[in-house]
Amino acid sequence: MAAFQKIYDAFCKPLYRFALSYMKDSFDVEEIVQDVFLKLWEKRDEVDELKSFKSYLYRITVNKIFNELKHRVVKRKYDQHLLNIDLVTHETPESSIQFQELNKKLESLLSKLPEQQRTIFIMSRWQGLSNAEIAQNLNLSARTVENQIYRAAKFIKLHLNNDYPIIILLIVFGYQSL
């Protein structure tokens, strides 16, 4: 623990500044740096002492930044797609019934999830909380939150049987108001 604390003290601020030069959002940067040290802690037994430790930390940081930027691009494209769909003017009685059926099916699927998994999934996808916020609110690790969201999305996707491809995208990438 003492060695880890020294590593954290030595690299936290430089990694933060490095990530901030790419991300420009201090909240996202804090999450990235936290994830870097979490990954370091999880992989502490696998760290190769003969290789450059500093390079290892920066490589993890770069990978986390790229993943976040890729996620933003996908989300931006999806948000733009939603803006291009005018649901109000194209709503028909048939689409309204289909929406109600889908809503019932989603509620049924959510009720089949374990309570903690359901809570985490709803906080993420419907309330729009970040994994870090959920972890803090529920006193869990960020990794546990990620794992539970992944499992819930996989379960729902499996049980929707590709009947609702747009809804599956919403669930996988997170859309706050279904």
b (16+ CB within 10 A) / e for 86-116: eeeeeeeeeeeeeeeebeebbeebbeebeee
Q: Which pLDDT value is given to residue 166?
A: 56
Q: Which pLDDT value is given to residue 23?
A: 82
Residues 167, 137 within the same domain: yes
Does residue 83 fall inside a structural domain? no
b (16+ CB within 10 A) / e for 138-151: eebebeebbebbee
Does residue 82 fall inside a structural domain? no
Helix, strand, coil shares of the chain as percentages rounded to 5? Answer: 80, 0, 20
Task: Give the SS3 label for residue 171.
Answer: helix
Q: Which pLDDT value is given to residue 167?
A: 58
Residues 114, 146 within the same domain: yes
Q: Which pLDDT value is given to residue 119?
A: 92
In CATH, what number is assigned to the domain containing residue 31?
Answer: 1.10.1740.10
Could you tell me the residue range of the domain that residue 10 belongs to?
2-77
Amino acid at 53: F
**Domains of the chain: total:** 2
Written as tens digits, the pLDDT of the chain (178 aa) is: 888 889 889 999 999 999 988 887 888 889 999 999 998 888 888 877 657 888 889 999 999 988 888 888 888 877 776 666 655 445 667 766 767 777 788 888 889 999 999 899 888 877 778 888 899 999 999 899 999 988 988 888 787 766 655 555 555 555 443 3
Residues 72, 100 within the same domain: no
Domain boundary residue, one of 77, 111, 127: 77
Q: Which pLDDT value is given to residue 69?
A: 85
Residues 100, 146 within the same domain: yes
Q: Which pLDDT value is given to residue 84?
A: 63
